[in-house]
Amino acid sequence: MKIRALIVDDEPLARERIRHLLRDEPEIEIAGECGSGTEALEQINRQSPDLLFLDVQMPGMDGFELLRQLPPEQLPIVIFTTAYDQHAVRAFDAHALDYLLKPFKPARFKEAVQRARTLLAERQAGTAARGLLDLLGGSAPATQLTRLAIKTDDKVVFVAIDDVDSIESAGNYVVVHVGKDSHVLRETLTSLEGKLPAKQFMRISRAAIVNLERVRELQPMFKGESVVILKDGRAIPTTRSLREIQEKLEFR
């Protein structure tokens, strides 16, 4: 699978660095280089690259403004490259796949490229599946997450949906519990709920979603309250009836 990439950076040495690292990635074909956001906008409209290595700070039109100028269906996969770490949160709010802080090491660059390669393969598989369903007269299921991208100060941690035990609301954030680890994700519980596999995850209260595979038992408590006990022993209060949860567990 050939991946067509566009390199956008106002610094020639930075573009040369990415071009040099891409020599070790035979599946990546460099579609072009741009020294400004304006030039990049023209190239993206003309070439529709699969992958964009995008600097944040550029004269005239910066990286964020460039992405705002593109229609959603034309957005390539974006790997931000910048010398300034204060842009990290905005980068991921712009749905960037990764965020490389200059000067990045070859191993870190290779990791980002592999993520792009994996995501593009998944997209192509999904497109093929939708095409087959259309031919058969059916319809494709809604897009569902298979992994969560958890942003930290210096990297992105990918957590497989199957590994998640439970998810709890924290205002405009959620706390994702994975074994002994907990991760904070900048998304509301309601928004995330719609992206999770409905057969595997259930919202048991306004504040919690559980992975049904992790449920060990259901317990009634005092005054009509109930809790869901996970396999790790953690108890989570539920406002759903135990019968409703039981049926969901039995008929999955």
Instruction: List, for residues 65-98, the tens digit of each pLDDT value.
Output: 898 888 877 888 899 998 877 666 566 555 677 8
The mean pLDDT value for 12-23 works out to: 96
At residue 14, the pLDDT reads 96
Give the separation between CA 68 and CA 66, rounded to whole angstroms: 5
**130: confidence class by pLDDT, cuts 50, 70, 90:** very low
Q: Is the pLDDT of residue 251 over 50?
A: yes
CATH of the structural domain 147-250, one choice from 2.40.50.1020, 2.160.20.10, 3.40.1170.60, 2.60.120.650: 2.40.50.1020
Where does the chain hold its CATH 3.40.50.2300 domain(s)? 3-120
**143: confidence class by pLDDT, cuts 50, 70, 90:** low
Where does the chain hold its CATH 2.40.50.1020 domain(s)? 147-250
Give Cα 135 to chain centroid, integer Å: 29
Taking residue 119's Cβ as centre, other Cβ atoms within 10 Å add up to 15
Give the separation between CA 58 and CA 61, rounded to whole angstroms: 6
- What value does the mean pLDDT of the chain take? 85
Closest CA to 8 of 73, 65, 88: 65
Q: Which residues partner with 170 through β-bridges?
A: 173
Taking residue 66's Cβ as centre, other Cβ atoms within 10 Å add up to 26
At residue 217, the pLDDT reads 94
Residue with token string 């269906």: 73
Closest CA to 12 of 62, 79, 47, 58: 58
Q: Is the pLDDT of residue 109 over 70?
A: yes
Q: What CATH superfamily classification does 3-120 receive?
A: Response regulator (3.40.50.2300)
Residues 146-160: pLDDT tens digits?
888 887 767 788 889
